[in-house]
Amino acid sequence: MRRLLALLLLLPSLPVAAGDSTSRDMEQELARSLRAVGENHLDVALNEVDSLLKVYPNFKLAQLVRGDLLLARSKPISDFGDAPNAPRDRVQDLREEANVRLQRVQQQQPIAVPRYLWQLSPKQRYAVVVDTGRSTLYLYENINGEPRYVSDFYISVGKKGADKVSEGDQKTPLGVYFVNEHLSRDKLTDFYGPGAFPLSYPNEWDKRLGRDGHGIWLHGTPSDTYSRPPRASNGCVVLANNDFNELGTHLQIGITPVIIASKIDWSDEADRAERAALMKEIEQWRSDWASRNTEAYLAHYAHDFSTGSMNLSAFSEQKRLVNSGKTWIKVRMSNVSIFPYPNQPDLVVVNFEQDYDSNNLSNHMNKRQYWMKRNGRWQIVYEGAA
């Protein structure tokens, strides 16, 4: 326990939690109990943890702390989870959870914006950014096009960490995903708690890299479990049930982005300049297409571009043939969103609604492009329906 208590020396004085609805409130209560242990006020610590367990009776970490405090009445304890015959793997899981939760109490509310939110569509009321390294999910609200921090939640991720590659590797994927569906409690077993939100893994980039697997969800915990250790799932992102219910009120099916990173990078001036350069390039792509300057339009596509089963050569041949029959073209873009890809430098996912009109064809579609910067220039490496 001493190693965990050392963290408490770095913590500020903790205010009384305003409510019991979030992980942050509960973590502050837990930290107050452990601080009392560090000050050798064991009765105070026991009262604190008992109060916590009245609200969260299935909180296994708090139960372990209570067990240690009761054990301390009969003998000195040298470490966290010092009960005889305690299963070492389970105790280690709880030690890791205690470390993560105390570090989360230390964290301040983010001032900067994650660099993955270059532009939110007006339709995207919220965005989710997951930091697997900190076991934290951040929720941002779209305020007139600017992301604003709302809240953050403790999460569990894959048993083997992040960067999923294949089916069954027990890792959480890293990338830009979207909420695909909502599965309610009555469609699931108790293991998933109050429900689940399946994500769009594998996405187009995952498939291009040969990554496979399925069933990556945001979901809750069994009814007898308040929370799970930081690395406990088969790849899903798992929240406490009250946190899951809170988050679920903000998610939009097919619209809300969920960006999963191993470590969050924050936006700065250089990042904003890069965003402006890409937005200029996207507008030039639209303009070149609308002007029927086919070769200038095709120059926006990378040599290793693909769309479905077509490579750049086949795509170029088709576009030259189609454009040869056009006397005029209009292309309009709306509801544009732009998300830099985590853990993949100079790759950005662009989504938009496209209205295309010409002398012999009109259509509307949701489109997704992946732009990559190489040798100082942004080009399209993938394009398809969103």
> Across residues 195-216, what is the average pLDDT?
97
User: What's the whole-number mean pLDDT along residues 337-365?
Assistant: 97
Confidence of residue 308 (pLDDT cuts 50, 70, 90): confident
Name the residue among 170, 168, 166, 231 with its Cα closest to residue 202. Answer: 166
How far apart (Å, rounded) are the C-alpha atoms in residues 324 and 211? 38
The string of DSSP codes covering 27-77 is HHHHHHHHHHHHTT-HHHHHHHHHHHHHH-TT-HHHHHHHHHHHHTTTS--
Instruction: Tell me the C-alpha to C-alpha distance, in Å, between residue 90 and each of 30, 81, 93, 135, 266.
Output: 19, 9, 5, 18, 35
Q: How deeply is 333 buried, as exposed, middle or buried, from its count of CB atoms within 10 A (0-12, 13-18, 19+)? A: middle
Omega before 229 cis (within 30°)?
Answer: no
User: Does pLDDT of 11 surpass 60?
Assistant: no
Please answer whether residues 298 and 319 qualify as being in contact, where contact means their C-beta atoms are separated by less than 8 angstroms: yes
Residue 266: phi, psi to the nearest 5?
A: -110, 150
Mean pLDDT, rounded, for 185-198: 97
What's the mean pLDDT in 347-351?
98
Q: In the predicted model, what is the mean pLDDT of residues 158-176?
A: 97
For the chain, what is the mean pLDDT?
91
Residue in 325, 274, 323 with CA at minimum distance from that of residue 295: 323
**Distance (Å, rounded) from C-alpha 96 to C-alpha 80?**
11
